[in-house]
Structure 1
């Protein structure tokens, strides 16, 4: 028997094994991510230093292949989600990633607004246009616009909000053409699109995009938040606390290692997030002493209750604190006994 003949089954098995890594299932797997110190990635001009640390927490999320699916099945703190629970119907992977990055951008804007207003510092906005988040199938924008395109003008008209943008399109008749001035990868482009009705909603008309405002917040002192490729809105609360702490002389950390999670609205309300169990594990691994968890006004299945359950399960010494608003978090920290 020749060596080539003997090797053939091994080669076939190796090829099948490698191919299976690239074959994805209709599921996503999440696992504990990282707890990342915020002071190095948030810089308020001439901001105050802190003795302790505020940290954002993340989960690692990715499409499942057969191996990651089986590992997650056997792992206590990995979770499997059907694809429909993560991505919207007809949403591509590119659209999902774009949506997550813009949710992060909105989270940063809200965090800046909340923290500056709490510090008594005026906030203003400069409206720059709208970003395309999703393209609806079988609509005129399909094939002409891409997720991440920034629309600056329609028919050479600028707008001061996404609402005025939508109102202008709604004034058009089905079959009318509009010309969009866009930026794609920092390059200007003009696209002509016809207004149509949505197949699923015959009473609604448009070009077939989901959009989000592109605006710049104007504050003094200036602030930079460098999040790289971190997506989603779940770091909003911790962004707010870090920015506010750099704006004010009193150190809210009191010397403690403080992690947490939760969305933030422009008026300071804290909302729930996904993957709280994995975030507790991530924070415990880096030695966090306090963890802020969305309380959801005491709901039985709140993030806070899930966090407490996980904390007990992993036998962490980390204190889990329920939070409904930014002000609650600040009040809790102000009343902490400084760490010796």
Structure 2
């Protein structure tokens, strides 16, 4: 016997389907963090006339996705998938746009530092040119909010070309509240000049400004030329691995010796390796990619941090724990500097 469907029953089914889809795929105010990828660097970094390698040097990433009901439920029971409230990821006042700009700026800064660290190590000269003051974020209810956007590059104020972000801050803070400044900035390759008034910060009455978070925007010029193409990967944590890849293409000896080498850590121009977040996810990503070695920052924990957070561990300790949990054969190597990583690789026997 065939049941006859009415127009009302079809409409009910349609509405039910829409409601179900909304429940399943509507974004929640949470993000899921999980292991990303381990990406080889010889296709990302090109040094003119650089040498080739037998093994691989790889950066590692953390994947961050907006949570839906199904992904939220799965993350709550899966290991190495964590649920982070939206406010915890972005902060109370940071927007999605500001977060993305900050991540891309951190990546650009990481590239510059990596180039300088590698060239410093082999004692080759490089040149740094100041391009302007990079706007990382714009504070709400401050004068700059109606004029500037994250990603803008301020190049002059009141007709004076800038030579550093500190010069810009000193000039702005020297002006009394209500002073109108002519700020020249570049947005999407277009130069714009607009007035912005100074104002006392609501939470810092002793401080005057226009209401932006800023950093120096510099360009590093080298010979031979170094090109780093990271597309939409953000953050500062690939610095160490960038430096190792640049160094390896600059020197004749192949430091990989046939091994697949992953790792993480920020880098300073002097070669100091710094702490990063999400290292456990990166260990898992490196293991899945078949890495033999993983470099982990062996960052000293300040006493005041340890006092407030007794459970805190160094990146190296976190990485060792993740390696044990995943039962990987990958060697976890602690490093505090670029030299530490290079010394370890120098002592390695070539892979058979």
3-state secondary structure, aligned to 1:203: strand
After superposing the two structures, state which structure 1 stretch, 285-294 or 24-33, moved more.
24-33
**1 CA distance for matches of 2:221 and 2:68?**
44
Give deviations 1:72-123, integer Å, cap 9, x for gaps: 1111111112233321221100000000000011111111110000011012
Cα distance, 1:294 vs structure 2: 1.2
Aligned equivalent of 2:309 = none
Aligned equivalent of 1:326 = 338
Count, aligned residues: 340
**2 CA distance for matches of 1:67 and 1:153?**
50
**1 CA distance for matches of 2:292 and 2:12?**
54
Give deviations 1:45-95, integer Å, cap 9, x for gaps: 111111110000001112323222212111111111223332122110000
Cα distance, 1:2 vs structure 2: 4.2
3-state secondary structure, aligned to 1:105: helix
Pairing 1:54-133 to 2, within 5 Å after superposition: 54-133=57-136
Give deviations 1:116-174, integer Å, cap 9, x for gaps: 00011012211010111111011001121111111111111111111111111112111
**1 CA distance for matches of 2:141 and 2:24?**
33
Aligned equivalent of 1:153 = 156
3-state secondary structure, aligned to 1:115: helix
Do the aligned partners of 2:25 and 2:69 also contact (CA within 8 Å) in 1?
Answer: no
**1 CA distance for matches of 2:130 and 2:58?**
30
Aligned equivalent of 2:242 = 239
**2 CA distance for matches of 1:304 and 1:337?**
23
Aligned equivalent of 1:36 = 39
Cα distance, 1:292 vs structure 2: 0.6
Do the aligned partners of 2:248 and 2:254 also contact (CA within 8 Å) in 1?
Answer: yes
Q: Does 1:201 align with 2:213?
A: no
Q: Does 1:294 align with 2:313?
A: no
Cα distance, 1:250 vs structure 2: 1.2
Q: Does 1:338 align with 2:347?
A: no
Aligned equivalent of 2:194 = 191
In structure 2, the gaps of 5 or more residues are: 307-311
In structure 1, the gaps of 5 or more residues are: none
Give deviations 1:208-250, integer Å, cap 9, x for gaps: 0001111101211110011100000010110010001111111
**2 CA distance for matches of 1:79 and 1:177?**
47
Change (3 A) 1:34 1:143: same
Aligned equivalent of 1:316 = 328
**2 CA distance for matches of 1:131 and 1:21?**
40
After superposing the two structures, state which structure 1 stretch, 330-339 or 2-11, moved more.
2-11
Change (3 A) 1:147 1:22: farther
3-state secondary structure, aligned to 2:350: coil
Superposed structure 1 runs of 4+ greater than 6 Å apart: none
**2 CA distance for matches of 1:252 and 1:85?**
40
TM-score under structure 1 length normalisation: 0.96
After superposing the two structures, state which structure 1 stretch, 111-120 or 69-78, moved more.
69-78
Do the aligned partners of 2:134 and 2:154 also contact (CA within 8 Å) in 1?
Answer: yes
Do the aligned partners of 2:120 and 2:270 also contact (CA within 8 Å) in 1?
Answer: no
Do the aligned partners of 2:240 and 2:266 also contact (CA within 8 Å) in 1?
Answer: yes
Aligned equivalent of 1:221 = 224
After superposing the two structures, state which structure 1 stretch, 16-25 or 193-202, moved more.
16-25
Aligned equivalent of 1:12 = 15
**1 CA distance for matches of 2:24 and 2:59?**
31
Within the candidate set 237, 240, 252, 1:249 is matched to: 252
3-state secondary structure, aligned to 2:38: strand
Aligned equivalent of 2:139 = 136
**1 CA distance for matches of 2:232 and 2:153?**
19
**2 CA distance for matches of 1:159 and 1:170?**
15
